[in-house]
Amino acid sequence: MLSINEYLKAGETTVSNLVIENYQKIGLTDEEFLFWLQLFRSQAKGDLFPDLAEISQMMGKPIDVIYKLMNQLVSRGFLIIETKQNDQGQMIDTYDLLPIFEKIDLLQQKQTEKQKEVTSEETIKQLYQGFEKEFGRQLSPIELEMIGQWLETDHYQPELIRLALREAVLNQAYSLKYIDRILLAWERKNITTKEQVAEDQKRRKQALIQKEIEQQGDKNEPIPKVTLHNWLNPEDSE
């Protein structure tokens, strides 16, 4: 029976789940991945250039198969054999295992970009549906083209266009030209986000309230008393 001391003495090899979950997605076969793991295990123990004969025995594969696996990884960019100087100034050979992590990182980036594209397409689809819902009809080809120009030529964010649509609906102006004027006004004010739109609306509301207060103040201002002077009879002057 394996003792706890033997178990601890054998050590452990920790591999990121990203590697385990994605090795096939980046093009590694099960056999290639197992060979790479043997190299990774050896390097984790401090052996930067392990003996392939030992790996052959551990994997139960002929040495020529092991060399074939190594050559496959090198030729496909998953493994780099390089010579570098160690801490004692000696030149030693080593296996660079980083390429597999770089390929996984690139895969993750592509997946993120793809997800963003899917999300963007869905957002744009919902934008067109929002216009049709508010207008109560299908959009005409010219209207579809105009919205497309807002997105592709003017580079307005879908959220900003949706806010302009909302403001137009609140003003009962079901016109893309009206919405275009709103977007142009916001562009001139460098308004590009929902928060900036809300702040602009707040400022305009405060300005209207202030104007109403001033107008109301003008109406309630008492008429100044004008002294009427009787030049013919000064004693009758008020």
Task: Mark whether 90 and 180 lie in a shared domain.
Answer: no
Burial letters for 163-200: b for 16+ Cβ neighbours within 10 Å, e otherwise? bbbebbeeeeeeebeebbebbeebeeeebeeeeebeee
pLDDT in tens, 158-181: 999 999 999 999 999 999 999 999
Mean pLDDT of 190-217: 85
Mean pLDDT of 35-58: 94
- Do the domain assignments include residue 132? no
- Do the domain assignments include residue 73? yes
pLDDT in tens, 81-102: 999 887 888 898 999 999 999 9
For 44, the domain range is 4-102
Task: Mark whether 91 and 171 lie in a shared domain.
Answer: no
CATH of the domain at 200: 1.10.10.630
Q: How far is CA 209 from CA 30, 136, 213, 218, in A?
A: 72, 34, 6, 14
Total domains in the chain come to 2
Mean pLDDT of 129-142: 95
Task: Mark whether 70 and 156 lie in a shared domain.
Answer: no
Task: Mark whether 12 and 85 lie in a shared domain.
Answer: yes
CATH of the domain at 45: 1.10.10.10
